[in-house]
Chain A
Amino acid sequence: MDHLAPVIEIGGIPFDLAAIAMILITSVIVFVIARLAVRNLSVENPGKMQNFLEWLVEFVQGIIGTAMDYRKGRIYLTLGLALIMYIFIGNMLGLPLGIVTEVSASHPTIFGQELVVPAGGHHEGVLHVAWWKSPTADAMSTMALALTVIVLSHVQGLRVNRRHYLKHYLQPWWFFLPINIIEQLSKPLTLGLRLFGNIYAGEVMIAVILGMGVAGIPFLMVWQGFSIFVGTIQAFVFTMLTMVYIAQNTVHEEDH
């Protein structure tokens, strides 16, 4: 069953309404969890949420510590915390439920706007539009995250470590310059597409298994478990790679 995304065009730019709504929902959930965890802070008698958030903060501190010297990396703690919470909750949200509505194929509209239908294939009768999915299952939102983080690493490299950062493009020899540039271009691409591919493929597989009907229930259980595992790993890998890229650009290594 082919699910379409509710994409409408405003001023020539396509907007994916499901992705926008899910990004908002994920942000609200992350904010609520964080605020609930810091209510009634106490040193002797921490509550469960406070314990959980303290564990998470120490975990992110460990991630930063493996990438760079933690005294230099302290400023990236909130970045790492935001990334890992947002991506983890975003990956988990698409698993439990799905909301699919039907739109007539001959004149598809959503809220009065024309629905953008990808070309190819024949559509007859009704089109199915999926409204609930992981925000990270949308390539544009993961690429936005990846680009933000990579641009941050370049900006920090220029601010903190300018001479060494510019010099490392010409290392180890000057004719490595195109290779270094390709490496820098491939970083946001793989960072964003890795997250997108993992979560999107998981969701498509859920749709395929649902198409098997009742016989697919044990498969669905196994696949949901695996998707939770993959979602956790991908959040961790994204945060870890962010810190590694920032460290590569900002830390001056004395042995070069």
Chain B
Amino acid sequence: MENLALVAAGIVFGLGALGAGIGNGLIFSRTIEGIARQPELRGTLQTTAFIGVGLVEALPIIGLVLAFILMGRA
């Protein structure tokens, strides 16, 4: 267990990926539901969904950068 930095990198990125996956899944499930209810709003809903993805994935990607820093330090 000398290299705790590598374990930390794994944990950081793993939890971040979990958060990104769940967040994106929630966003797109509601988007699909909305498109199913009102097909003419498809363009607007898709655009809003991608804005949501850009926001939700911010913190997991910051976690990814942190994981790279930790890996480089190991």
Q: Which residues of A contact B (CB under 8 A)?
A: 2, 118, 120-121, 190, 193-194, 196-198, 200-201, 204, 233-234, 236-237, 240-241
Contact = CB atoms under 8 A, between A and B. Distances in A.
Contacts of A194: 54-55, 58, 61-62
Contacts of A237: 51, 54-55
Contacts of B58: 190, 193-194, 197
Nearest to A229: B50
Interface string B39-74: 000000000001101110111011011001000110
A204 B61 CA distance: 12
Q: How many of chain B's residues touch chain A, expressed as a range?
A: 10 to 19
Main SS at interface, chain B = helix
Interface of B: 50-51, 53-55, 57-59, 61-62, 64-65, 68, 72-73
Contacts, number: 43
Given A196-B65, A233-B54, 20 more contacts: A2-B72, A120-B72, A120-B73, A190-B58, A190-B59, A193-B62, A194-B54, A194-B61, A197-B61, A197-B62, A197-B64, A201-B65, A201-B68, A204-B68, A233-B50, A236-B50, A236-B51, A237-B51, A237-B55, A241-B55
